[in-house]
């Protein structure tokens, strides 16, 4: 009986879900803030020396080498949507209109980047109605996981129990709770922190309607779509880079601290006991005091009277009272640069990101070596395409339903995460076909979309396809050899470009003539 009473009390508590959602947001927020700092390169170095920490803080000095963002950007760069289609031309045209109305060619890449940066990102899909209540368009926009969180059903983790969105609106705290059939609007009073349930009140959409804080709908689902790198909540793509990035920041800052000593070495002079006397310095000599400036702002260094010692052939430097002089050697750059390179390699391994993506200007592998190194990364990109594609399909299905399509079927097409475009790759494709692998399968394994391959193969017999593959392999081999010749100076780069361009034009003209014939 007591359990039933407790459940009944909870059911009638109007603030229960609100405060639970706020608590979930607050617990998750520090991890998202940390992910943003590492992506932006704003994580400070941890100094064991309090004196050095105070000195750098006072002068606002940093020497950022932010490699931690690379695992995020590398995945985002491979996530390109080739198109989104419906089951007929009308649905596809409607999808195209939604895409253009919401500038999704700009919005979605940012959404994918944020999903990689935080591990989670949310796409809001809100119908816009006219005065008659007819949906005239659908708005799609990104929301940060720092302010939005989907709460999943504990019994069925794939089911959204509710979504909370909380934000600051001037002196007020605002919140919305989104359910499958309605939305609740909440607000605080002025300058309230919103930490307690008593701080929150109904936020009326219409001041004359006391029930307008609750907005009913017939959607049957929440207009929030969760893009994530894992389930139920994601992990930042660069999470494994935190430790190596800390080490790199420490090494780089310390290295920069030694640069002054490399440019201006610290010197020393050893003296015999009781023989050094600097009390009778010549007028042109200087002691350890600061050099006073004259009325014209000219100091000893500017006048050329710093010292009576002269450097030059045949000159003799006489130092009174010193038996030996020298300088302290600064730390060698390799002491810092070698560990930095190690940590970059560690970051690449931990984050499943090819090492050559961290240094595009360095020595780059080619051909089969690149594909072997990229294989785990390509698989990771493929997993993101599956996850993000499923969520994007749900979002467009929801949008089409709101626009009057009863049972829409949406398909998301991705550009290949990797395609073969080098001589070794095409030679491999040719070898596969000669070994008996179906041509369609060989081209799909080369990274081309199935619908592209089907279009290419339409009306093309096996002999013609074999000829095209041979041409591509020969062209790639010729391009490689011409590139080597240009490197040796046998032919210029402009001549190479002209030859290849002319050859490609001739091949295109020949192909077109064959198709017309």
**Which of 139-143, 193-197, 206-210, 269-273 has the least mean pLDDT?**
269-273
SS3 261: helix
Do residues 434 and 405 share a domain?
no
Over residues 299-334, the pLDDT tens digits come to 444 444 455 666 666 666 666 777 777 777 777 877
Per residue in 209-266, pLDDT (tens digit) is 999 999 999 999 999 999 999 999 999 999 999 999 999 888 887 777 777 777 777 7
* Shared domain check, 11 and 147: yes
Among the three residues 385, 418, 451, which one is the final residue of a domain in this structure? 418
Nearest alpha carbon to residue 68 among 116, 23, 102: 116
Residue 380 shares a structural domain with residue 447: no
- Of 189, 161, 162, the residue nearest 174 (C-alpha): 189
pLDDT digits (tens, 9 = 90+) for 495-517: 877 777 777 666 666 666 665 65
In a domain, 299, yes or no: no
Q: Are residues 435 and 503 in the same domain?
A: yes
Task: Return the pLDDT at 514.
Answer: 60
Residue 189 is encoded by which pair of tokens?
Answer: 């009073």
Q: Average pLDDT of 360-389?
A: 79
Provide, rounded to the nearest whole percent, the portion of the chain with pLDDT above 90: 47
**Any domain includes 302:** no
Task: Flag whether 176 is in a domain.
Answer: yes
Q: Can you read off the two tokens belonging to residue 170?
A: 């001037």
Calculate mean pLDDT across residues 386-408: 96
pLDDT more than 70, % of the chain: 73
CA distances for 121 relative to 111, 124, 127, 156, 392, angstroms: 7, 10, 20, 21, 12
Q: Domain for residue 312, yes or no?
A: no
In sequence order, what are the residues at sequence separation of 6 or more whose Cβ sits closer than 8 angstroms to the Cβ of residue 87? 408, 409
Residue with tokens 């800390």: 246
For residues 255 and 330, membership in a common domain is answered with yes
Residue 94 — very low, low, confident or very high, per pLDDT cuts 50/70/90?
very high
Of 418, 445, 477, at which residue does a domain stop?
418
470: pLDDT strictly greater than 90: no
Which of 25-34, 122-131, 246-255, 470-479 is predicted with the least confidence, judged by mean pLDDT? 470-479
* Count: domains in the chain: 2
- Comparing 34-38, 117-121, 415-419, the range with the smallest average pLDDT is 415-419
Out of 24-28, 66-70, 471-475, least confident range: 471-475
Clarify whether residues 152 and 252 are in a common domain.
yes
Same domain for 352 and 441, yes or no, is no
Q: Say what the pLDDT of residue 284 is.
A: 45
Single residue among 418, 445, 461 that ends a domain in this structure: 418
**171 within domain boundaries:** yes
- Angle (deg, nearest 10), helices 368-402 and 104-118: 120
Residues 130 and 242 in one domain: yes
pTM for the whole structure: 0.73
114 and 198 assigned to the same domain: yes
| 176 and 122 inside one domain | yes
Give whole-number Cα distances, 483 to 129, 347, 423, 487, in Å. 59, 33, 12, 6
pLDDT value of position 379: 92
> Domain range for residue 369?
7-271+326-418
Identify the pLDDT of residue 348: 93
Q: Residue 165 domain-assigned?
A: yes
Q: Two tokens at 367?
A: 């051909």
Examine the domain organization and report whether 467 and 413 are in the same domain.
no
Find the DSSP H helices in 224-333.
242-263, 300-303
State how far the Cα of 432 lies from the Cα of 461, in Å rounded to an integer.
18
404: region left, alpha or beta (phi > 0 left; psi from -120 to 50 alpha): left
Same-domain check for residues 382 and 248: yes
The answer as to whether 473 is a domain residue is yes
Token duo for residue 290: 């600061």
Residue 115 domain-assigned (yes or no): yes
What confidence category does residue 46 fall into, taking pLDDT thresholds of 50, 70 and 90? Answer: low
pLDDT band with cut points at 50, 70 and 90 for residue 373 = confident
pLDDT at position 420 is 61
- Greater confidence, 384 or 285? 384
On average, the pLDDT of the chain sits at: 81
Weakest mean pLDDT among 38-47, 95-104, 212-221, 228-237:
38-47
């Amino acid at each position: 009986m007591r359990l039933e009473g407790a459940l009944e009390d909870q059911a009638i508590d109007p603030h229960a879900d609100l405060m639970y959602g706020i608590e979930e947001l607050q617990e998750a927020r520090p991890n998202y803030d940390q992910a943003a700092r590492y992506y932006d390169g704003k994580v400070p170095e941890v100094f064991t020396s309090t004196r050095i920490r105070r000195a750098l803080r006072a002068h606002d000095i940093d020497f950022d080498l932010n490699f931690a963002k690379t695992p995020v950007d590398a995945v985002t760069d491979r996530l390109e949507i080739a198109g989104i289609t419906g089951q007929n031309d009308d649905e596809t045209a409607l999808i195209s209109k939604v895409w253009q109305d919401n500038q999704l060619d700009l919005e979605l890449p940012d959404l994918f980047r944020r999903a990689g940066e935080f591990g989670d990102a949310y796409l809001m899909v809100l119908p816009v109605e006219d005065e008659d209540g007819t949906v005239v368009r659908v708005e799609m926009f990104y929301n940060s996981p720092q302010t939005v969180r989907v709460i999943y059903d504990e019994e069925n983790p794939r089911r959204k129990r509710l979504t909370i969105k909380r934000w600051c609106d001037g002196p007020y705290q605002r919140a919305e709770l989104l359910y499958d059939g309605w939305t609740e609007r909440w607000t605080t009073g002025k300058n309230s922190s919103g930490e307690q349930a008593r701080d929150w009140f109904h936020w009326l959409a219409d001041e004359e309607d006391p029930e307008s804080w609750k907005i009913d709908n017939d959607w049957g689902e929440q207009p929030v779509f969760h893009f994530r790198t894992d389930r139920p909540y994601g992990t930042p793509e660069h999470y494994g880079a935190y430790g190596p990035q800390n080490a790199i920041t420490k090494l780089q800052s310390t290295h920069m601290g030694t640069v002054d000593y490399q440019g201006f070495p610290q010197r020393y002079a050893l003296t015999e006991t009781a023989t050094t006397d600097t009390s009778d310095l010549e007028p042109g000599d200087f002691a350890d005091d600061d050099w006073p400036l004259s009325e014209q702002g000219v100091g000893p260094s500017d006048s050329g009277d710093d010292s009576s010692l002269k450097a030059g052939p045949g000159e003799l430097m006489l130092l009174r009272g010193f038996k030996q002089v020298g300088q302290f050697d600064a730390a060698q750059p390799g002491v810092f640069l070698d560990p930095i390179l190690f940590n970059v390699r560690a970051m690449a391994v931990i984050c499943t990101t090819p090492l050559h993506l961290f240094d595009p200007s360095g020595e780059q592998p080619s051909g089969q070596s690149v594909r072997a190194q990229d294989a785990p990364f390509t698989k990771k990109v493929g997993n993101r395409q599956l996850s993000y594609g499923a969520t994007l399909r749900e979002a467009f299905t929801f949008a089409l339903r709101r626009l009057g399509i009863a049972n829409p079927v949406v398909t998301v097409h991705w550009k290949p995460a990797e395609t073969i475009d080098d001589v070794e790759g095409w030679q491999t494709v040719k070898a596969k076909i000669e070994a008996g692998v179906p041509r369609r399968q060989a081209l799909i394994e080369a990274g081309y979309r199935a619908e592209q391959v089907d279009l290419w193969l339409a009306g093309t017999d096996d002999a013609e396809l074999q000829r095209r593959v041979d041409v591509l392999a020969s062209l790639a081999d010729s391009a490689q050899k011409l590139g080597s010749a240009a490197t040796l100076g046998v032919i210029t780069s402009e001549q190479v470009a002209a030859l290849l361009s002319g050859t490609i034009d001739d091949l295109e003209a020949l192909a077109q003539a064959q198709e017309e014939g």
